[in-house]
């Protein structure tokens, strides 16, 4: 096995169930729509280090509640996006409309990245920047190449490379499940993406940040997040979801459940004009 085959199998090991993914993110739409872009957001800082967004065209893949779409819009970019969840899309429109800034609603598309037709939408080499923040869309080597095909200049990818969560560990033990960090399935994706880009003749940059925090939430606000970590996909039944709700409510103090987390997050930037397309 050569290096390209080794790193390719890391991405190609994913077999996404798009119907289940859509249902999951619809259930989490209300929670994710509350996320905002912090003033010291490392992904945005990386973009700003490399590109003046004024007048640039940006494609945000898996844009969630639209927090980065709004940031791009505020910095003068022309925005487009693809998001699998109708609930997320609705939240994003409300957020952007509330800003009073002009954008094209038709440029935000509800679709899985895996099924989107770039040629039919006129999205081949159409964007100065293709941006993916915690997106599951690079689910295979073919989907990585599709990301590159949509960009005419740069790609920015942010993914978790390590996650620890005290509440998750307690819940795993409480439900008799195997202990381990969340996101194990995709922990090596960013390393695979970096190495494949390098093997294809590009010069990707990679930065890491560590986040430590203690947070408190209402049980229903985090129910779907932890349910998806405990029982991925079809394993997450209504009975299990109710059992988790009861457990979270029992743990709550003054109506809030606390957790301490430690995350390592990688941010990748690649300028496609400095390499040879695969």
The model's pLDDT over 5-51, given as tens digits with 9 standing for 90+, comes to 999 999 998 888 999 999 999 999 999 999 999 999 999 999 999 99
| Rounded Cα distance, 116 and 135, in Å | 15
| pLDDT of 63 | 98
CB 111 within 8 A of CB 80: no
The per-residue pLDDT for 269 is: 98
User: How many whole angstroms separate alpha carbon 43 and alpha carbon 132?
Assistant: 10
Ranges under pLDDT 70 in the chain: 180-186, 275-278
Q: What is the pLDDT of residue 182?
A: 53
In whole angstroms, what is the distance from residue 32 CA to residue 28 CA? 6
Q: Name which of 1, 2, 4 is nearest 200 in CA terms.
A: 4
- CATH architecture type of domain 3-164+183-212+262-274: 3-Layer(aba) Sandwich (3.40)
83: left (phi over 0), alpha (psi -120 to 50) or beta: beta
CA–CA dist 227, 225 (Å, integer): 6
Give 56-114 as a DSSP string.
-EEEEET-TTSHHHHHHHHTT-EEEEEES-HHHHHHHHHHHHHHT----GGGEEES-GG
Domain residue extents for the chain: 3-164+183-212+262-274
Taking the mean position of all CA atoms in its chain, how far away is CA 277? 24
Q: How far apart are the first and last CA of the chain?
A: 19
pLDDT at 232: 87
Q: What is the pLDDT of residue 248?
A: 97
Tokens coding 114: 């895996």
> Which two structure tokens, joined as six digits, stand for 201?
């003749």
Angle made by CA atoms 41, 57, 154, in degrees to the nearest 5: 65
Residue 181's pLDDT is: 55
What local confidence, expressed as pLDDT, does residue 276 receive?
63
At how many degrees (to 10) do helices 42-50 and 67-74 cross? 30
């Amino acid at each position: 096995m050569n290096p390209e085959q080794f790193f390719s199998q890391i991405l190609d090991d994913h077999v996404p169930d798009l119907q289940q993914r859509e249902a999951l993110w619809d259930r989490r739409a209300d929670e994710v729509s509350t996320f905002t872009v912090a003033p010291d957001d490392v992904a945005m800082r990386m973009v700003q280090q490399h590109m003046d967004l004024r007048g640039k065209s940006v494609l945000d893949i898996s844009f969630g509640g639209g927090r980065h779409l709004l940031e791009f819009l505020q910095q003068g970019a022309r925005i487009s996006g693809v998001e699998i969840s109708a609930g997320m899309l609705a939240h994003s429109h409300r957020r952007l409309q509330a800003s009073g800034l002009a954008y094209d609603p038709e440029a935000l598309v509800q679709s899985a990245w895996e099924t989107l037709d770039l040629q039919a939408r006129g999205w081949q080499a159409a964007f100065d920047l293709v941006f993916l923040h915690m997106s599951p869309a690079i689910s295979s080597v073919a989907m990585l190449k599709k990301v590159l095909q949509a960009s005419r200049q740069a790609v920015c990818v942010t993914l978790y490379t390590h996650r620890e969560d005290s509440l998750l560990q307690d819940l795993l033990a409480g439900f008799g499940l195997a202990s381990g960090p969340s996101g194990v399935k995709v922990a090596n994706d960013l390393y695979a993406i970096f190495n494949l880009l390098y093997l294809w003749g590009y010069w990707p940059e990679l930065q890491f940040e560590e986040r430590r925090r203690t947070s408190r939430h209402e049980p229903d606000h985090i129910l779907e997040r932890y349910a998806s970590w405990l029982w991925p996909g079809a394993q997450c039944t209504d009975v299990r979801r109710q059992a988790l709700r009861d457990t979270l409510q029992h743990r709550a103090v003054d109506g809030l459940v606390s957790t301490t987390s430690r995350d390592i997050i990688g941010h990748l930037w690649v300028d496609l004009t400095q390499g040879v397309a695969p």
